[in-house]
């Protein structure tokens, strides 16, 4: 309590807390209503093979199309959706939509869906993945699920069982934001990941930091020796792409090719090799 700081501070503090709690309650109500009103939709960002330059998959990135506030990015609502458990419904919605959308794309193009640690606490996760695949008719091998280290930090026995079950279904599992956690390397031993996504921070510093080049080289080498695909996130220019190609990185994703766009623009992203963020 801030009481010792004097009455003025204490009252200010209380008022501040109240305003924050109030804002949170409003956002939570808004989130619930938005789910009813169908205001959420996945946007898609292409992931390209570095050697063939072909689009191999799209990552589904959730957007909230708010009637007053416009397009809202995940950082502004996913944390509260996780706290309130609404992420379970939101996650199911993304899975269903992503599988249904991907089923209309060419056979050799996959879709990647991000999973929250909270979804792993829900006993229905396997059932909702199964249902999304069955209803859409999408082959399991075309679905990639992206998890971060934080998923493996919690209740790891149950989580590992779930991951193995998903993989046994034919779904691929990617380790997202690689290199940003505490002990990234040890997680590579705990589960046979299909893909490592090298965090954007290493790519963005390639031009300015020698050690970022060394880290990229180490991770792509690790991927090669473990037989795991490596995808670089946040590729924004040709110099970065060239370096990644030279270091043997398998796939690249970033504004250099396209920012995330609605499902209706996937066909165009497949046709046109490059679509910059401004395009
Ligand atoms: P992420 O899975 O690591 O997704 C990559 C983020 O980097 C996306 O941000 C994407 O728009 C952004 N990005 C891609 N290329 C570039 C680039 O060249 N430069 C820069 N500066 N940024 C780039 P976004 O869409 O805002 O999503 C942020 C995070 O929110 C995601 O990070 C993911 O952790 C989470 N998220 C998004 N959609 C979902 C979802 O459906 N479910 C869950 N649980 N989390 C989601
Ligand atoms: Mg991701
Ligand atoms: Mg990432
Ligand atoms: Mg991320």
Task: List, in order, residues 6 or more apart from 69 with CB less than 8 Å away.
Answer: none
Give pLDDT, residue 206: 87
Confidence category of residue 13, pLDDT binned at 50, 70, 90:
low
Structure tokens at 251: 């796939």
Nearest-atom number in ligand 1 for the CA of 256 is: 18
What pLDDT, in 10s, does the model give residues 24-42? 898 999 999 999 999 999 9
Q: What is the mean pLDDT of residues 258-274?
A: 90
Among the bound ligands, name the one nearest to the CA of residue 198: 3
Backbone torsions φ then ψ of 80, nearest 5 degrees: -70, -35
Distance CA 197, CA 103 (A): 24
Among the bound ligands, name the one nearest to the CA of residue 98: 1
Q: Give yes or no for residue 250 CB within 6 A of ligand 1.
A: no
Nearest-atom number in ligand 1 for the CA of 176 is: 3
Between 136 and 212, the more confident residue is: 136
Confidence category of residue 138, pLDDT binned at 50, 70, 90:
very high
Do the bridges between strand 261-262 and strand 40-49 make them parallel or antiparallel, or are there none, so unpaired? antiparallel
ipTM of the modeled complex: 0.98
Specify the 3-state DSSP secondary structure of 196.
strand
Give pLDDT, residue 274: 66
Contact 89, 35 (CB under 8 A): yes
What pLDDT, in 10s, does the model give residues 211-258? 889 999 999 999 999 999 999 999 999 999 999 999 999 999 999 999
Q: Is the pLDDT of residue 113 over 50?
A: yes
What pLDDT, in 10s, does the model give residues 180-207? 887 778 888 889 999 999 999 999 998 8
The residue whose C-alpha atom lies closest to atom 8 belonging to ligand 1 is: 61
Which of 213, 108, 231 lies closest to 174 in space, CA to CA? 231
Q: Is the pLDDT of residue 3 over 60?
A: no
Give pLDDT, residue 273: 61
Q: Which range, of 2-6, 110-114, 202-206, 270-274, averages the lowest pLDDT?
A: 2-6
Give pLDDT, residue 144: 98
Look over the chain and give the mean of its residue pLDDT values, rounded to a whole number: 91
Do the bridges between strand 172-178 and strand 195-198 make them parallel or antiparallel, or are there none, so unpaired? parallel
Q: Is the pLDDT of residue 6 over 50?
A: no
Give pLDDT, residue 276: 54
Q: What is the DSSP letter of 73?
A: -
């Amino acid at each position: 309590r801030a009481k010792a700081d004097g009455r003025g501070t204490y009252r200010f503090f209380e008022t501040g807390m109240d305003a924050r709690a109030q804002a949170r309650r409003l956002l939570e109500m808004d989130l619930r209503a938005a789910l009813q009103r169908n205001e959420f939709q996945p946007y898609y960002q292409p992931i390209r093979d570095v050697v063939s330059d072909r689009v191999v998959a799209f990552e589904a990135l959730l957007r909230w199309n708010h009637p007053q506030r416009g397009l809202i990015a995940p950082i502004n609502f996913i944390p509260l959706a996780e706290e309130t458990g609404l992420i379970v419904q939101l996650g199911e919605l993304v899975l269903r939509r992503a599988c249904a959308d991907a089923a209309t794309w060419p056979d050799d193009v996959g879709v990647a869906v991000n999973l929250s640690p909270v979804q792993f606490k829900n006993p229905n996760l396997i059932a909702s993945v199964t249902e999304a695949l069955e209803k859409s008719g999408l082959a399991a091998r075309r679905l990639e699920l992206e998890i971060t280290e934080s998923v493996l930090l919690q209740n790891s026995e149950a989580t590992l069982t779930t991951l193995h079950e998903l993989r046994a279904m034919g779904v691929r599992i990617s380790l997202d934001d690689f290199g940003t956690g505490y002990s990234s390397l040890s997680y590579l031993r705990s589960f046979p990941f299909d893909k490592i996504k090298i965090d954007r921070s290493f790519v963005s510093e390639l031009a300015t930091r020698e050690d970022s080049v060394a880290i990229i080289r180490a991770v792509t080498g690790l991927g090669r020796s473990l037989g795991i695909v490596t995808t670089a996130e946040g590729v924004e220019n040709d110099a970065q792409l060239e370096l990644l190609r030279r270091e043997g990185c398998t796939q690249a994703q970033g504004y250099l090719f396209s920012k995330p766009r609605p499902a209706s623009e996937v066909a165009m992203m497949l046709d046109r090799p490059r679509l910059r963020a401004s395009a």
